[in-house]
Structures are given as C-alpha cells and as structure tokens.
Copies of this chain bind each other. A is one copy, B any other.
Amino acid sequence: MIDINKAIESLDWQKEPRGLYEPIEYTLASGGKRIRPTLALIAAQTVINGGLISGTAVNDVLPAALALEVFHNFTLLHDDVMDRAEVRRGRPTVHTKWNDNTAILSGDQMLIEAYKLLSDVPAEKLPKVLKWFNEMATGICEGQQYDVDFEHMTQVSIEDYMKMIELKTSVLLAHAMRIGGYIAGAGEAQQEALYQYGLHIGLAFQIQDDILDVYGDPKTFGKAIGGDILCNKKTLMLLTAMETASPEDKAELLEWMITTDRNAEKIAAVTDIYTRLGVREKCEAIMEQETSNALKQLDKLPQNEATERLRNLAEQLATRTK
C-alpha cells in the first residue's frame, strides 16, 4: 500500500514566491487523518490486486487521491478565515499566522494545485474524474453556504440538515471512493456501491460528531464538550430535540439558547433536556441506519482484504469515541 503521508510530504512547495507557497506547505504539513486519499486508495484495492492492501497497482490512483487531500485542506484554509478560527490541528491557522489576504490567495492556489494533481489522471479517465471532482467541489461550497444560511434561520428541518451534511461532508468521501474505484477499473455497479458507501459513512461520521459534542468523554474526544450547545449550532441533536420536545421543554431550550453567560450551566441544562427526550438514542438510531446502509454496499463488491478494511472502518466510525 502506498504511504499517503510520504506521498503528501513529497509534494514540492519550495517554489517562489514564498509568500504564496509557504502557507500551503504549512497547511499540508499539519497532519490530519488523510481519510479521503486513504479511502480512494482502498476503493481502488477492492477491485484490483485481488483486494490485497499490500498490492502496488494503485499508482494511477495516487494523483487523484492527492488532489482530494489538497482540496480538503484548501476548504479548511478558507473555512477557517470565514469562521475566524484561530487554531487548527494544534497550530495557528494560516490567517492567524499570516493574515486574511494570505489565507485567501494561498487557499486559491491550493484549489488550483488540486486541479494540477488531477491533470495527471490517466487521459482516458480524466473527463469523468474531472466532472466528478467538480461536482464534489460544488457540493462542498453549496453545503458550506447552507451551513451559513442555517445559522440565521429559526426553523431548519432534519431533512434540510441531512442534505447539508451530505453536501458538506459526505459528498467528498463518496467521490473519493468512486474516483478511486473508477480509475482502478471498477464497473458501474461497483462505482455506485463505492459511492454510496462513502456517502453513508460520511453521514454516520457527522452524526456521531454531533453526539460526541454532547456525550463525548473530554479526555478522548480531543475538543471541549458542549461547543455546539454554547453556539446554538443546529446539529441533529438540537433539531431532534426541537422536533420531539413538549411546549414546556421547547420553551426551556429556547430560553437557554438566548443565554450567553453561564456556559457550564447551559451545557448541563441542555444536555439534561436531550437526555430526558431520548435525543441521543434517536440520533444513534439514525447513525446506525447510515452505518448499516454503508455496510450493505460492501456486499456488492468483491469480498477481499480491502472490502474487509472498509467494513471495519464503518464499524469503527459508529463506535468511535474521538
């Protein structure tokens, strides 16, 4: 199996002007789970080399896999400007370390670098891969815009929320799977199964994230618990609570939502309401449904070491604590 971290490290950013390329180097060197390129490579393995993870015939997939990772990091760079986030992966964000303009321009260049990597996809596969990549990128921007829109809306349906997280999170995982499989020679039915797998684990991942923000163990979760509650973020937890709450519970929830001091109290009180309403169980049921949908897709693929790894991954996501 290709070492994706080494492949990312081997990208050359020692170019002029330094003001443009240094922030790109900084961003890509800050780690992260590399989940998107890894998925693209495993998707490829499901259909080649008899599914052997140790196989090496995935070189054709590498440029697209790297393009997905560079693209993902571009979105983080611009998102951090828009969210005024100061820290990412334990280090100052680009706009904090440099300035907004640097984050905008180096971010733009990162998006272009993703397309540069993409241009190394085998020529006969390029038209479809470029089309899908563009669809994916569009989905991310649309999802980001919906996320912004939701902040200012009083009523957001669970359906709208699911559509938003599908665009913002899942579509990238889904396309990573399909692109990896397609370049490696997957047939159309296999491509679709890979795509759907990515879509459903993405949804499961995001819902688990919403749950962990409330019920996670601060020691293992890695970020403060209750962050979504404090900023009244319209997560699946809050939307489910609003949908199932009695008028009294709803009034109590809304009262806490306009409370901007007493942070610890607010987190404890809203968590109590969630617990009383069984919000956790409802969200876990939806997450488990998504995980189950993802697992079902794997039955349509060759059964081998790579599919097994995807099976484990889906199960790990559903039970993760961080």
Binding site for B on A (CB under 8 A): 16-17, 19-20, 78, 81-82, 100-101, 104-105, 107-109, 111-113, 115-116, 118-119, 123, 126-127, 130-131, 133-134, 137-138, 141-142, 144-146, 148-149
Contacts and interface: CB of A to CB of B under 8 A. Distances in A.
A307 to B, nearest CB: 31
A252 B137 CA distance: 53
Given A81-B104, A145-B17, A148-B101, A112 B130 contact: no
Nearest to A110: B141
B20 A142 contact: yes
21 contacts: A19-B149, A20-B145, A81-B101, A82-B101, A82-B104, A101-B148, A104-B104, A105-B148, A108-B111, A108-B141, A109-B141, A111-B111, A111-B112, A112-B134, A113-B138, A115-B133, A118-B130, A119-B130, A123-B126, A126-B127, A130-B130
Given A104-B104, A119-B134, A123-B127, A141 B20 contact: yes
A105 B141 contact: yes
For the complex of A and B, 4 pairs with smallest distance between CB atoms: A20-B145, A109-B141, A82-B101, A17-B145
A112 B126 contact: no
- Please tell me how many copies of the chain the complex holds: 2
Nearest to A101: B82
A266 to B, nearest CB: 26
Nearest to A127: B123
Given A116-B134, A116-B138, A108 B78 contact: yes
A133 B111 CA distance: 13
A133 B112 CA distance: 9
A284 to B, nearest CB: 29
A11 to B, nearest CB: 14
Contacts of A133: 115
Contacts of A137: 112, 115
Given A101-B148, A112-B134, A112-B137, 18 more contacts: A17-B145, A19-B149, A20-B141, A78-B108, A82-B101, A82-B105, A100-B100, A105-B148, A108-B111, A108-B141, A111-B112, A115-B115, A115-B130, A116-B138, A119-B127, A123-B126, A126-B126, A126-B127
